[in-house]
Amino acid sequence: MTEPGLDLVTGGAGFIGAHLTKALLRIGRRVRVIDDLSTGRADRLSAVNGQIELMRLDLASADLSVAVAGVERIFHLAAIPSVPRSVATRPNHPNTKDSRSRRSRPTGSQRPRLRRMCASSRSSTAWTR
Ligand SMILES: NC(=O)c1ccc[n+]([C@@H]2O[C@H](COP(=O)([O-])OP(=O)(O)OC[C@H]3O[C@@H](n4cnc5c(N)ncnc54)[C@H](O)[C@@H]3O)[C@@H](O)[C@H]2O)c1
């Protein structure tokens, strides 16, 4: 069941994701962050520790059913933010534009009842719709 006011920010320990997380808290939203901390830093969120739910996991390979449970909106920013680097360093990783990224998408009853999904990034992303 959807929890009113609950947002999920993927890549929330990243440069843009951390700013977005704090902005959402300022307007009264509750925020769950998913980040594998591959390029992100938990200290970007230290000012809001205790106000957010931080889940350290790899979107590309984790079971996302718990992570997406109850969320109303998803802001999808998790990425290796350089396409050349993502391809060069992790050629088979689902973070790349490789269609394997679709493997980790929630399906059927796992899918959240989203009001909104925002995938704003224009680089490599994990788990895209
Ligand atoms: N920073 C900019 O100026 C800018 C401009 C335009 C577009 N973008 C795009 O916005 C997106 C975010 O950019 P950013 O600058 O915040 O990058 P960033 O590297 O700071 O943030 C990306 C976050 O995603 C996390 N992440 C990566 N793979 C993950 C995975 N498999 N599972 C969970 N978390 C994972 C990283 O740890 C990191 O915290 C990128 O797609 C980037 O191309 C950024």
SS3 call for 74: strand
Amino acid 41 reads: R
At 5, list the tokens: 């006011």
Amino acid 32 reads: R
Q: Which protein residue has the closest C-alpha to ligand 1 atom 15?
A: 15
Report pTM. 0.84
Residue 74 φ then ψ, to 5°: -120, 130
74 CA from centroid of ligand 1 (Å): 15
pLDDT tens digit string along 6-63? 999 999 999 999 999 999 999 999 999 999 999 999 999 999 999 999 999 998 777 8
Top-confidence residue, 122 or 52: 52
Which atom belonging to ligand 1 lies closest to the Cα atom of 60? Answer: 31
- The DSSP call for residue 37 is -
Out of 3.40.640.10, 3.30.230.10, 3.40.50.720, 3.40.50.300, the CATH code matching 6-121 is: 3.40.50.720
**Rounded mean pLDDT of the chain?**
80
Ligand 1 neighbour 81 (Cβ under 6 A): yes
Cα separation values, 74 from 25, 93, 97, Å? 14, 22, 19
